Chains A and B, each alone.
Chain A
Amino acid sequence: MTRPGLLVVVGVLLAVAGCVAAPPEAAPPASLPRAEPSLAAESPRQRAAEVTMRVRNRLCDGVATGSGFAVGPRRLVTNRHVVEGAEELQLDTWDGRSVSVAVHRVAYLHDLALIETLEPLPRVARLAAVDPGPGARVTAVGFPRGGPLTQTRGKVVDRVPGALGERGRVLRISARVTHGSSGGPLLDAAGRVAGVVYAGETRTGYGLAIPVSTLRGLLGDPGLLGVPEPCS
C-alpha cells in the first residue's frame, strides 16, 4: 500500500474510532441488591434477653429466684446455689412463657448447675472461645431480686480465687450484681458468654463470675455433675 493510502486508512479508522458508542439495549436492573434486615427484634440487647431465663426455686420453706441461660436447645446453665434444696424448679422465658424442668444436676467443684427442660428454649447462647482478659468490656444479664431483666455493663477487673471456696480462679468485674442475678450470663462485647455471674463482693461492690473456660470444662465432662440434695 502506498503511503497516502495508508494515511487515508489510518485517518478513516481514527474517525470511526472517535465515534461515541450507543448505550446498551438492556436497561440496568431496576432493583438494588437486598440488604440484610436488621430490626430491633435482632438487637444485641434483645438477643441477650432471649438467651436469659428466670429461675424460680420453690424450697421446702420459701422461694428463691435466680437467672440462667440456654447452652443447648433444651439445656440451661445456672448456679448450684440457685437450685439447691429445690422442691420444684420453675423456668420462665423473657416473654413470660413457662418451661418445664425435666431434671437438674449440680457441679461438685463449682457453683454451677445444668437443667434439662422438656420444652425447647427460645435461643441458645454462643460461648466465647477464651476467657476475657482484664479490661475487656462485659455485660452482666439477669433478673436481680426477681424483678425485670437488667443488663449491667462493666469491665473485667482481674482474676481472684473463688469466693465460695470453689476450685480455680474467677473473674472479678466492675458491674454490680445482686441476688437474683446469680446464674445469669456474663456477655463479652460480641454478645458471647464469657462467664456465669454467681456472686458479688460486699466490700468492693464488684461482681464475680465463673469464667467460660470452667463452664466449657463442665459441659465437656458429665462426670463433674451430680444429683442435688432433695428438699428436706
Chain B
Amino acid sequence: MDTTHHRDPSTAAHRAPYPALPPRRSGRMARVAVVALLLLVVAATVSAVVSYRNGRAWERRAGQQAARADAAERRAAELRGQLDESEATVDRLQRRLRDLADEKAQAEDQREILRVYAKRYRELTEIAGSVSAELTSCIGQLADAMSLIGNPYATGILSQAVDDCSTALDDSQTLQALIESMPEPPGS
C-alpha cells in the first residue's frame, strides 16, 4: 500500500500564502493616525487653555462674590443692630404710652368718682337746706305757741309745732345718717 502523499500540482498555487499588504496602504494609515493624534493634541491643548482661562474667570468671580457676601453680611449685621435698637425704642415708647394711658385712665376714674361725690354732696346740701328750713319753722311755731300760753288756740298751734318739729328732727337724723354713710372721697 502506498502511503506517500502526492501533492496535486494543479492546487499548489492556490494554497500559496497571501501576499503582504502593499506598503503604500500601511503608510497612509500611519499618516492618518499621526494626523488624528495631532488633532487630539491640538483639541486637548485648546481645551486646556480655554479651561484655564475660564477657571481663572470663575476664580475672580468667586472672589468678587465672596467680597460682596462679606459686605452684605456686614450690612446685614449693621441693619440687624439698628433693627434691634429700633425695636427696643418702640418697645420702650409703647411701655411709656401704656403707662401714660394708665395714668390718664386712673385720673378719669378719679374724676368720675369725684363727680359722683359732688352730685351726692349737692343732694345732701339740698336735704340739709330743707331740714334747716323745717327746724326754723319748728322753732318759730314753738315760739308762737309759747307766746299764746293760756289762749284757747294755743293747744292747736302747739300740736302743729310738735308735728313739724318731729318731722324736722326725723329729717335731720336721716341727713346725719346720710352724712355718716358717705365714704371718704378718693385722695382725701
- State the A residues within 8 Å of B (CB): 2, 4-5, 7-8, 11-12, 15-16, 18-23, 27-28, 30, 32, 39-41, 46, 49, 54, 56, 58-59, 61-63, 65, 90, 92-96, 143, 146-149
Q: Is B170 an interface residue (CB 8 A)?
A: no
Most buried by A among B29, B43, B106: B43
Given contacts A5-B32, A63-B113, A149-B102, 7 further A-B contacts (CB under 8 A): A4-B36, A8-B36, A15-B43, A18-B47, A19-B50, A21-B54, A56-B112
Once the chains bind, are A20 and B55 in contact (CB under 8 Å)? yes
C-alpha gap A7/B39 in the complex (Å): 11
Closest chain A residue, CB of each to CB of B60: A23
Say whether A20 contacts B51, CB under 8 Å.
yes
Whether the Cβ atoms of A41 and B100 lie closer than 8 Å is no
A182 to B184, CA, bound (A): 26
| With known contacts A4-B33, A12-B43, A20–B109 Cβ distance under 8 A | no
- Give the interface size class of chain B: 35 or more
Given contacts A8-B40, A20-B51, A23-B58, contact A56 B109 (CB under 8 A): yes
* B59-103, CB < 8 A from A: 61, 64-65, 68, 72, 83, 86-88, 90-91, 94, 97-102
**Cα A5 to Cα B35 with chains together (Å):** 10
Residues of B within 8 A of A58 (CB): 112, 115-116
Whether A92 contacts B40 in the complex (CB less than 8 A), given A40-B87, A56-B112, A58-B115, comes out as no
On chain B, the residues within 8 Å of A62 by CB distance are 113, 116
Q: How far is the CB of B113 from chain A (nearest CB, A)?
A: 5
Instruction: Decide: A40 and B94 in contact? CB cutoff 8 A.
Output: yes
Most buried by B among A11, A15, A18, A90: A15
Instruction: Tell me if B36 and A11 are in contact (CB < 8 A).
Output: yes
Query: For the complex, what is the distance from the CA of A12 to the CA of B42, rounded to whole Å?
Result: 9
A65-B109 contact, Cβ under 8 Å, with A12-B40, A32-B72: yes
Which A residues lie within 8 Å of B149 (CB)?
A: none
Q: State whether A146 touches B106 (Cβ < 8 A).
A: yes
Q: Is B143 an interface residue, CB under 8 A from the partner?
A: no
Q: How far is the CA of A22 from the CA of B97 in the complex (A)?
A: 60
Does B133 sit at the interface, judged by CB under 8 A?
A: no
Task: List chain B residues, Cβ under 8 A from A40.
Answer: 87-88, 90-91, 94
Flag if A15 contacts B112 (CB, 8 Å).
Answer: no
B95–chain A nearest beta-carbon distance, Å: 10
Asked if residues B97 and A96 are in contact (CB atoms below 8 Å), the reply is: yes
A63 with B94, Cβ < 8 A, contacts A15-B40, A21-B54 known: no
- Using A23-B58, A40-B90, A92-B104 as known contacts, say yes or no to A28 and B65 having CB atoms under 8 A apart: yes
Note all chain A residues with C-beta closer than 8 A to B113. Answer: 62-63
Q: Is the CB of A46 within 8 A of B94?
A: yes
What is the distance, in angstroms, from B187's C-beta to the closest C-beta of chain A?
14
Instruction: List residues of chain A with CB within 8 A of the CB of B43.
Output: 11-12, 15-16
- Check B116–A19 contact: CB distance below 8 A: no
Q: Are A147 and B102 in contact (CB under 8 A)?
A: yes
Please, which residues of chain A bring their CB within 8 A of the CB of B46? 15-16
Which residue on chain B has the smallest CB distance to residue A7?
Answer: B36
**B148 on the interface (CB 8 Å rule)?**
no
Report Cα–Cα, A6/B46, bound state, in Å.
20
Whole-angstrom CA separation of A7 from B51 in the bound complex: 23
A188 to chain B, nearest CB (A): 23
Q: Are A41 and B90 within 8 A (Cβ)?
A: yes
Within B19-36, the residues touching A (CB, 8 Å) are: 29, 32-33, 35-36
Question: Does B105 contact A96, Cβ atoms closer than 8 Å?
Answer: yes
Chain A residue, CB-CB nearest to B116: A62
* Chain A to chain B: the 3 pairs with minimum beta-carbon distance, closest first: A96-B101, A15-B43, A8-B36
- A19 contacts B51, CB within 8 Å? yes
CA distance A40 to B91 in the complex (A): 6
On whether A18 and B51 interact (CB within 8 A), knowing A96-B105, A146-B109, the answer reads yes
